Structure 1
């Protein structure tokens, strides 16, 4: 039997994304930075020009109509990591990424829903005073994940 318990994986997605271009850019970054899957909650993905690597054919994509549906289908044993500028969020540079997790980003104009913030196992934030473009924020989180950090 294969022991998947110790394997690392992560997925990344957007709640109520504003534009399909943001998802396309995030998808390309996810493919390049080792994500296992991507997803959306609310707005649907539509193929468009920013998906230049045709990531839709090389990485699983999931769509959930509601946060509740998404949350009910989190992979077993995975931690939900919300990316949000809140007071109780940990600065990204100090965050120890879980081995098995799902990163959830909100749209630039609204951020994550209250329910998503409440249900997140961890919240991370950037030093930035203003919100970042969602695909840029996701790319930074994925890049930070691969940096060597001491594990406790």
Structure 2
């Protein structure tokens, strides 16, 4: 997949209170392959990722935030926060128009996104599935969908 960053805009992707090192490592590997501008974690569950076999942390900026408040205060100027969460308010990913400049936030599999993250998100998206998905799979699906869609909202 060839990425034109001037045409694409930018996006970051990360997990709030990620549960397992494997999920973070797999998400980071997918992020590197699918054109993410940066990766991040929020909360105190971060650890070095053995599953990051492509060494994404060394290939793109990685940020860690102690709290959601700290993360939200450092959103890039003009970026939309897109929460990925299985809620009634969330828009189906199939019909979602990805913002040109955005940050995707996923919640841990055991807790999901915090209420504060859900309230502060500019957009919430979900996909058709009977049950919740593995967080790294969910993030990969969102990034793949972004790559497929050529038109972005502003």
Where does the alignment leave 5 or more consecutive residues of structure 1 unmatched?
A: none
Q: How far 1:56 sits from its partner (Å)?
A: 1.3
Gaps of 5+ in 2: none
Question: What TM-score, normalized to structure 2?
Answer: 0.91
Determine whether 1:12 maps to 2:29: no
Residue 57 of structure 1 pairs with residue 58 of structure 2: yes
SS at match of 2:82: strand
Runs (4 or more) in structure 1 with deviation over 4 Å come to: 4-7, 149-152
Give the length in aligned residue pairs: 149
Residue 99 of structure 1 corresponds to: 100
Q: Are positions 1:142 and 2:121 aligned together? A: no
CA contact (8 A) 1:96 1:149 kept: no
Instruction: Say which SS state the counterpart of residue 52 (structure 2) adopts.
Output: coil
Larger deviation, residues 36-45 vs 83-92: 36-45
Distance in 2, matches of 1:104 and 1:96, equals 16
- Give the structure 2 partner of residue 111 of structure 1: 112
1:33 match: 34
Distance in 1 of aligned mates of 2:151 and 2:21 = 36
- 8 Å CA contact retained: 1:44, 1:63: no
**Are the equivalent residues in 1 in contact too, given 2:24–2:49 (CA < 8 A)?**
no
In structure 2, C-alpha distance between the alignment counterparts of 1:40 and 1:90, rounded to whole Å: 24
CA displacement, residues 108-140 of structure 1 (integer Å, 9 cap, x when unaligned): 111000000000000000111211000000000
Work out the CA distance in 2 between the residues paired with 1:136 and 1:5: 27
CA-based RMSD of the aligned residues comes to 1.8
Q: Greater shift after overlay, 128-137 or 41-50?
A: 41-50
For residues 37-48 of structure 1, the aligned pairs below 5 Å read 37-48=38-49
